[in-house]
Amino acid sequence: MKKFVEDFIPSKWRNRNKPLQRNGPRGHTDIRTHGTDESDGISRLPTDGHDGSSRTTDPSPLAIAIHEPSHTSPTPALNYQAPKSASHRVLPIFQSSSMSSSINSVQISVTRDRSSTPSVVLEPNNISQIFVDQEQTPSTGSAPRHSPMQLSLPTSILASQFHDDETTASQTGGKRVHGFFANAHYVNMYNPVMQDFSNQTANPFMENLAKHTMPGAAYDSSARFPPPRCHAGTRLETVEQARNFFNASGCKKRLLWIVGPAGVGKSAIMQTIAETSPNLGASFFFTANVHDDPSKLFVTLAYQISVHHSAYREILQAQLTLDPTLLEKATTVQFEALFINPFAISMIHGTSAPLLILVDGLDECAGSGAQRQILELVSGFTTRYPSVPLLWIIASRPEPHITLFFDRLMGAAVYDKLELSYDSTESRRDVERFLRDRLSKIRDEYPQGLSHLPQWPLESQVLPLLAAADGMFAYAEAVSCFIEDSNIADPVSQLETVLDIINHTSAAAIGGQSSPMAQLYALYDRILSRIPSHILPITKHILMGTGVTGCSNYWSTLGQACQRLGLTASKAYSALHHLHAVLVIPAPEASFGKYGCVKARHKSFVDFISSRFPDLIGENWDKLRFSCYLRILKDTRIGGAVLP
């Protein structure tokens, strides 16, 4: 606004003459020009009379009204003095230095005092509908409720000769013309830039509901970036089988359990289903020690559904208005309010296309009791209300208590089961395609380093990798990351190291044939063995501090962990240098931000660390935290004194 004033109003006009009078209640300023004769700078203008004759009238005072939200502090004053040489009414607008900068809505009214003459109102919220030739900026989301208004007013507004509706109607063949300039003539606007903010008010109900959800658990959350995905051309049969399950004619089952061991690709399959299903209603991806709170599950699912379905949102809003503590109650009470009442009792979805709800990694939810309760609520819902068009897919490892729960439901025909295994024909075929594609990609990334090896990798090198993977995607991914590691930048020697690990592991196994998990753990062990012994303690502390080892109450980012551990950035990144193949490590400049977390590329590495270094969890983690906070207190100076 300040720049607009400087470009718009000559300096000789600013703050001249006495200030304009101010009328109206707080939050509404009505400023009028003083003087109506020629000596005050406003010329007499010819105006058509109702009898068709031309007559001269004294121009009525002009009014400029600025409507502000009630929260702004005292209503500012506007100063204006019309130039004496003006041949038309020139209406510049000047914001004084005392005016608040947080004006969220502005309505400019150009009026005459006579009640018989209608006013011309310029509203920024709607002017964009008139100037259709101006480039529009698409909205990308709701703006903050108190964000400063972005409005560039025209560089010139020249107004004269206002006509009433009857005159306008007579000139348009009896048709009354509506619009902001229907009764105005000689109105010129140069280079106007208008933006429509009329629909950018946040929804308080959705804001409150979002506070009770689990951020980062949805399939498209930035916290999961990069998410696990099925490699192009793989897992096509499994994904199609999951989709066809609910489309089968006469199928009354509303629950599908996708089960398989660690590293078989369950999360990647669930991610692909979420990204490619047009009827997705909501998704929740559990992650151990991160997104593992069972009390947030159903609220998060409800929030996602309400974003796209207004009828459901209205029912939730009515229930929460009646009982604002609903979201703080027991999980069973929440489930009844969020799913049974809207879908089974009110039947808001009716015969519409079914909504798909995905829950991945149930075994990573905190507490086996909570896992069983979730299964009881969902299976009970699908059993009691089989006609409700909600389709549930739950994926998990075959943990004993989860397997036992589903085994007990087998005779009731409540659910169906899709089991994944390493040694299936599809798994082995897809892992082979994945590995060959990744090795080809690595070769393209190192054209100079591999120029002397035109056939790299040899088929005799690829076959042992496929045999060791044996259909396990987690192993294929870990091996690819290890060979590709840009911090080593030597794929030839990295591949030779992997082949050496495979030979040693197979030789030590009974019958010379090791399992894919044994090969994966052997790879993890070799990676850790590369860390120098004098740096390993620092590495362990960082793994604990960032939650990689499964500790609770960990520090959320690498930057925060370094601060509390008293580590410099160089020491921290040196300690993590050899772990890029198994960890997602943020860049130094991002170590304090939302992408500053250190994450395991696969949960199998967390399992390995916990078994390999049992001293990294439990009591030792508590001792480490205490020592860090004690050091911080000792280094703290209060009033120049050092704490004892």
Q: Per the domain annotation, does 572 fall within a domain?
A: yes
pLDDT of residue 181: 56
User: Distance between CA atoms of 459 and 463, rounded to whole angstroms?
Assistant: 6
pLDDT digits (tens, 9 = 90+) for 357-402: 999 999 999 999 999 999 999 999 999 998 898 999 999 999 999 9
Q: How confident is the model over 168-180, as pLDDT tens digits? A: 444 444 445 555 5
pLDDT at 283 exceeding the cut of 60:
yes
* Same domain assignment for residues 545 and 631: yes
What's the confidence (pLDDT) of residue 120?
39
* C-alpha to C-alpha distance for 211 and 552, rounded to whole angstroms: 22
Are 295 and 442 in the same domain?
no
SS3 592: coil
3-state helix/strand/coil string of 171-195: HCCCCCCCCCCCCEECCCCCCCECC
Q: What is the mean pLDDT of residues 178-185?
A: 58
Q: Tell me what pLDDT residue 352 has.
A: 72
Same structural domain for residues 367 and 343?
yes
**476 shares its domain with 434:** yes
Within a domain: residue 59? yes
pLDDT at residue 47 greater than cutoff 60:
no
**Taking residues 610-639, what's their average pLDDT?**
81
Sign of CA dihedral 135, 138, 142, 144: negative
Residue after which a domain boundary falls, among 482, 506, 529: 529
Do the Cβ atoms of 35 and 129 come closer than 8 Å?
no
Show which of 485, 503, 529 is a domain's final residue.
529
Residue 644 lies in a domain: no
Query: What's the pLDDT at 66?
Result: 41
Grade residue 355 by pLDDT with cuts at 50, 70 and 90. Answer: very high
- DSSP tag of 34: S
Same domain membership, residue 154 and residue 27: yes
Q: What are the pLDDT digits (tens) for 74-117? A: 433 333 344 444 444 434 443 434 443 333 334 444 444 444 44
| Shared domain check, 281 and 182 | no
Instruction: Look at residues 128, 23, 31, 118 and name the one whose alpha carbon lies nearest to residue 81.
Output: 31
Domain region containing 546:
536-638
Beta bridge partners of 46: 56
Residues 305 and 401 in one domain: yes
Burial class (CB in 10 A: 0-12, 13-18, 19+), 413: exposed
Residue 75 tokens, joined: 């209503």
Residue 395: CATH number of its domain: 3.40.50.300
Number of Cβ atoms within 10 Å of the Cβ of 349: 20
Count: domains in the chain = 4
**Secondary structure string (H, E, C) spanning 276-319:** HCCCEEEEEECECCCECCHHHHHHHHHHHHHHHCHHHHHHHHHH
State pTM to two decimals. 0.66
Are 294 and 415 part of one and the same domain?
Answer: yes
Q: Does residue 643 belong to any structural domain of this protein?
A: no
Kindly report, residue by residue over 425-476, the tens digit of the pLDDT. 999 999 999 999 999 999 999 887 787 888 899 999 999 999 999 999 999 9
Nearest to 381 by CA among 319, 449, 458, 301: 301
Q: Is the dihedral of CA 334, 338, 343, 348 positive or negative?
A: positive
Residues 271, 362: one domain? yes
Residues facing residue 67 across a β-bridge: 28
% of the chain at pLDDT higher than 70: 65
Residue 190 and residue 209 share a domain: no
Residue 633 domain flag: yes
How many other C-beta atoms can be found within 10 angstroms of the C-beta atom of residue 10?
A: 9
pLDDT given for residue 498 in this prediction:
97
Mean pLDDT of the chain: 75
Judged on CB neighbours under 10 Å (0-12, 13-18, 19+), 331 is middle
Q: Are 385 and 339 in contact (CB under 8 A)?
A: no
Query: Residue 290: what pLDDT?
Result: 82
Q: Do 136 and 46 sit in the same domain of this protein?
A: yes
Q: What is the per-residue burial (b if ≥16 Cβ within 10 Å, else e) of 485-515?
A: beebeebeebbebbbebbeebbeeeeeeebe
Scan for tokens 């270094």, then name that residue.
613
User: Residue 161: its pLDDT value, please?
Assistant: 35
If pLDDT is split at 50, 70 and 90, which confidence band does 200 have? low
User: Among residues 285, 276, 283, which one has the least CA distance to residue 358?
Assistant: 283
Please indicate, yes or no, if residue 149 is contained in any of the structural domains: yes
3-state secondary structure 624-643: HHHHHHHHHHHHCEECCEEC
Which carries the bigger pLDDT value, residue 481 or residue 141? 481
With respect to residue 257, please indicate whether it lies within any of the assigned structural domains. Answer: yes
β-pair type (355-360, 390-396): parallel
Using the 3D structure, point to which of 419, 454, 486 is the last residue of a domain. 419
**Amino acid at the residue 209:** L
Confidence of residue 73 (pLDDT cuts 50, 70, 90): very low
Rounded to whole angstroms, the Cα distance separating 162 from 181 reads 9
Same domain membership, residue 605 and residue 491: no
